[in-house]
Amino acid sequence: MAQPRWSNRIAFVITTTAFAIGLGNIWRFPYVAGEGGGGAFLLVYILLIALVGIPIFLTEISLGRMAGSGPLTGFGKLGGRKEWNLIGWLGVSATILVMSYYVMILAWILIYFWSCITKHLTSLPEGDLPSYFDQVVSNQTLVLLVIALIMAGAVYITRHDLQKGLERHSRWMLLSLLVLIVALAIWSFTLEGAAEAYRWYLRPDFDRINSQVILSALGQMFFSVGVAMVVVFAFGSYTSPQENLVQTTIWVVIADTAIAILAGFMIFPALFTFGLDPDSGSNLIFITMAHVFQDIPYGEWVGAAFFVLLFLGGFTSLITSIQGAEYGLTDRFGWSKDKSLIIISLTIFILAIPVCFSYVENPIQIFGRHFFSFFDLITNSIMLPLGGLLIVLFGAYVVGAKRLSDHVSSGSESVGFLRWWRFLIMVIAPIAMVAILLNSLL
């Protein structure tokens, strides 16, 4: 099997950015920031991105380039023992589980988009919005049909080679996402509550900064940047030895963070204008923002643009995640690209079925949780933080921080940064990963 290669550096940066930017930025970040007190959370988040997010991302992408192979063989190659490939299997398994409920949320988003353009959502009485959400998520037939269409589109894009598939489509989707989020942020700027929202969002209240806000920001940083799903490892294996990974990593993480911050500029002025609660949790996009669309002129079109934005952010993460998992299987077993794609896509769809049925009257439960809640728990609270910890420890102590930084420096002149990076991946990042794990489990 020929090793996939990026066509150029811009394609590498754009596609990797498209992976990192997802629902974690546009949906999850605003409501977690709202719960964390706005400016207080934002300050802590930016500091953690610099101290933890960039070092972990650079570690994973560097290991991928060093290995020059997929995550299911690359860890064993670098560590000298095939048992190290279990880290790759952990990441691929987590990716498939995450995508099984991620694609369900994408289906909800498309249904809401249709409800906006048909003016159904904006014509509902405000008191009916929660029950409408319940009606959407409990219509398993419709949701599964939409999931099938989404997965078919994802397979169509990823079955092409890297340049004609992922690179080409990530480019226009990311550009469309940027245009929409900037346009909606400018629209929010014109609203009456914008000034109050900006003060709340940008002026940190230091009294709100506590251990829970720090841990919440740490968890959001980890979820948003997308490490430990080993997609970044796969993408690193596509790069040339001359690529400046330090510069690329910084560009990708800055773009990822900027989109998350822009999502706040887009959403919070609307909430403050209409007296809605910024810490309304995961209901923010499906119920709270629906109130906004009902109260503004041309709300159905603003709402439609909002849900297209959400879908593009999520869909780019879906197709890049499928690409990373597919490359892992193709590299490990020597299968054809189509065979690996069919296995991964069918697995995601089959797992999505019980996830969708989490919203029936008496859902099947595992350890007291329905499938959606259980998959979310084991991936975001256990598998991904554990994978991130193992990747950092593997890079710092098995491969060796000095050997890894020597490899990175072959395409970079950032020698001073690399000295700090070695310290961060040997000490700070492992502590952060352990904190996330303990906070999730205790």
* pLDDT tens track for 53-63: 999 999 999 99
> How large is the average pLDDT for residues 138-148?
97
Query: What pLDDT does 436 receive?
Result: 86
Query: What pLDDT does 329 receive?
Result: 97
> How large is the average pLDDT for residues 398-422?
83
Residue 278 has pLDDT above 90, yes or no: no
Banded pLDDT at 415 (limits 50, 70, 90):
low
pLDDT tens-digit series, residues 2-47: 788 999 999 999 999 999 999 889 888 998 898 889 999 999 999 9
pLDDT tens-digit series, residues 167-223: 999 999 999 999 999 999 999 999 999 999 999 999 999 998 998 899 888 888 888
Mean pLDDT of the chain: 92
Banded pLDDT at 409 (limits 50, 70, 90):
confident
Question: In the chain, where are the structural domains located?
Answer: 9-441
Residue 156 has pLDDT above 90, yes or no: yes
Banded pLDDT at 164 (limits 50, 70, 90):
very high
pLDDT tens-digit series, residues 356-402: 999 988 899 998 999 999 998 899 889 999 999 999 999 999 999 99
Banded pLDDT at 1 (limits 50, 70, 90):
low
pLDDT tens-digit series, residues 78-136: 999 999 999 999 999 999 999 999 999 999 999 999 999 999 999 999 789 999 999 99
Residue 279 has pLDDT above 80, yes or no: no
> How large is the average pLDDT for residues 141-165?
96
pLDDT tens-digit series, residues 289-347: 898 999 888 999 999 999 999 999 999 999 999 999 999 999 999 999 999 999 999 99
Query: What pLDDT does 361 receive?
Result: 87
Residue 241 has pLDDT above 90, yes or no: no
Banded pLDDT at 412 (limits 50, 70, 90):
low
Query: What pLDDT does 11 receive?
Result: 94
Banded pLDDT at 284 (limits 50, 70, 90):
confident
Residue linked to tokens 């959502």? 121
- The CATH class, in words, for 9-441 is mainly alpha
